[in-house]
Structure 1
Amino acid sequence: MTEVSGNRQATVRIKDLLLRAYIGIKEEEINNKQDVLINIRLTYDATAAINENEISAALNYRTITKQIIQHVDGNRFALLERLTHEVLTIVMEHEAVQWAQVEIDKPHALRFAQSVSVCLEAHRP
């Protein structure tokens, strides 16, 4: 097998993380959890993970996912924009993450639409 040298940028996607959250401004939204669908794309330098083939050298996306679940479960949000920002902040707290994009859907938020979503992204300078 031919070896590829240099830094290896990895894209990790966490797809369709379905959680229940208190989100919204109407009384029924404040009092009842609703589905939110979270999608995350992030990049990090996976060179060490590739070379060492050890979990300790890789970005632990399971840890990131657990942090997001705990945060969404333990808080209330008025706006989808705020929830999206807070999830993006959790992802970017991991120093290995170089760029991230978070999109969160709120299904059935509008009468004739399947969902409404907000997408935010951040990168390290």
Structure 2
Amino acid sequence: MVLVGTEVKSIRDGKVNFVDSFCVFFKGELWVRNMHIAEYRFGTTNNHIAVHDRKLLLTKRELRKLENKIKEKGYTIVPLRIFFNEKGYAKLEIGLGKGKKQYDKRETIKQRDTQKEIKRYLNRQ
């Protein structure tokens, strides 16, 4: 992952949030979007911007493999976790996810509602 100096310090402090973040291909490169890395509190005027696109460094083979999967309907790449390896480099673990179909969503909602009703019934007794 390509980072600015204060971004690394902020990541070490654990000030990263990648809720609603996702990865996209742009000109043959993989970029992560909407990943929020808070500004470093001891940073000066050279502090980084909290939310901007960050380039992910992958081999051509990995990029080609992921790009072929993305072209299939319903697949997306999402960041799962961020960590530092033994050399001190920040690494982003990504995963390939497939969206739910409409009938799957309805089934999940139905199961959730029945579980709530069961809990209510058990709590009354």
Tell me, yes or no, whether TM beats 0.5: no
Structure number with the bigger relative contact order (C-alpha 8 A, sep ≥ 6) is 1
**What's the TM-score once normalised by structure 1's chain length?**
0.28
